Amino acid sequence: MTNSKYAVIMAGGSGTRFWPWSRENTPKQLLKIVCERSMLQHAIDRITPAFKPENILIITNKLHKEQIQKHVPQIPISNIVAEPIGRDTAPCIGLAATIIQKISPNSIMVVMTADHIIEPANRFIKVIETAVNVVSKNNSLLTVGIKPTELSISYGYIHRGKQVLKENNFMVYEVKSFKEKPDKTTAQNFINTGEYYWNSGIFVWQTSKILECLSQYTPKLALGLERIGIALGTKSEWTTMEKEYQNFEKISIDYAVMEKAKDIIVIEADFKWDDIGSWYAIERWNKKDSLGNTILGIHHGTDTHSCIIVNNEQHLITTIGISDLIIVHTKDATLICNKQSAEQVKKLVEELRQGGNQSYL
């Protein structure tokens, strides 16, 4: 019998694709990329109609725990859990499942990340509540699929199989397979079939079920999580976590479980969804001027077209005769790049790290 339901928000990344706005100390999920609320605050606002604050867990990096407490003071401090080091989503989700399983065995957990935009929130809640109902009845691993609205090579895809059931007017299908980010031709082929969804990275399952799967497919990780579970609430909790995390493989939940497990289902969602993964998201979610520029901050331009300009300082940026550029100015670093090269910002950050420019990261 299922006791309860919990929301788990993964908020541990450093958002390197948004450098220099996003830094190790102020990651993407704490930035006000859309409106006057941070990405994390948006995520909490979205789920509070369906989850009590004490049933919301935020898994983050130890660097960000204090800032997150200030951003979302309504969440109990004990529910803001710091990982010693980032090891991707499988250890993160495994840790959350271990904590919840100890508090309330066989609860259902809804897993999401802190840096998605989802609208309207009431449709999101309907999908999640339906998914929780489905999982409480059939104990499958459930993922949320987004109907593609355009050709995108930025997302992974889910190939659906036969329809399993219809609940609250939402269609639920078997999952045939998960596909990595495709090239344009493959993505177009996926969309043409009508059988593919964008992989939202939103999951619903019972804590005992996901821990069982981790035990089956990643036994080393599962053993480490068991040792952490025993130490939870004791004096050795943090030292045990540090020790185990050092040995954890860096692995996503997709590789660890979703691509291997058999009983995976997908619910077709009907909300607008955007994974805020690159600077392009700025122009998708903020107003453009008459020349197609998206400007956040102080700027004056002449003959400036289709640019993204973000200015965090009381510092005037002026431009003449440019187009299709991204210009980001912060107090100690400036980025200027062609919009077509936005995906290379992550690589640039890695080069800066290797070049000893750690203080700018």
Domains of the chain: residue spans and CATH: 5-275 (3.90.550.10), 280-360 (no CATH)
pLDDT over threshold 80, residue 15: no
d(CA 44, CA 80): 13
pLDDT at 319 over 70: yes
pLDDT-above-70 percentage for the chain: 99
- 16 pLDDT higher than 90: no
| Residue type, position 147, single letter | K
And the tokens for 267? 């619910």
Q: Say yes or no to pLDDT of 1 above 60.
A: no
- The CA distances from residue 299 to 22, 35, 260, 307, 328, in Å, are 20, 19, 50, 11, 11
Q: Is the pLDDT of residue 13 over 80?
A: no
Which amino acid does the sequence have at 131? Answer: A
Does 2 score more than 60 pLDDT? no
Q: Give the mean pLDDT of 63-77.
A: 94
Confidence of residue 66 (pLDDT cuts 50, 70, 90): very high
pTM (predicted TM-score): 0.93
**How confident is the model over 324-331, as a mean pLDDT?**
96
| Mean pLDDT for the chain overall | 94
Higher pLDDT, 73 or 152: 73
Least confident interval from 51-65, 122-136, 229-243, 275-289: 275-289
Is pLDDT above 80 for 3? Answer: no
pLDDT tens digits, 170-189:
999 999 999 988 899 999 99
Short-list 223, 210, 224, CA closest to 257: 210
pLDDT digits (tens, 9 = 90+) for 102-143: 999 999 999 999 989 999 999 999 999 999 999 999 999 999
pLDDT at 154: 84
Question: Of 28, 241, 268, 49, which Cα lies nearest the Cα of 144?
Answer: 268
Name the band, by pLDDT with cuts 50, 70 and 90, for residue 25: confident
User: Confidence class of residue 152 from pLDDT cuts 50, 70 and 90?
Assistant: confident
Instruction: Specify the long-range contacts of residues 291-299, CB closer than 8 Å, at least 24 apart.
Output: 297/329
How many angstroms separate the Cα of 348 from the Cα of each of 19, 33, 225, 354, 361? 9, 21, 34, 10, 11
Q: Residue 192: count other Cβ atoms within 10 Å of its Cβ.
A: 9
Give the per-residue pLDDT at 33: 85
pLDDT at residue 260 above 80? yes
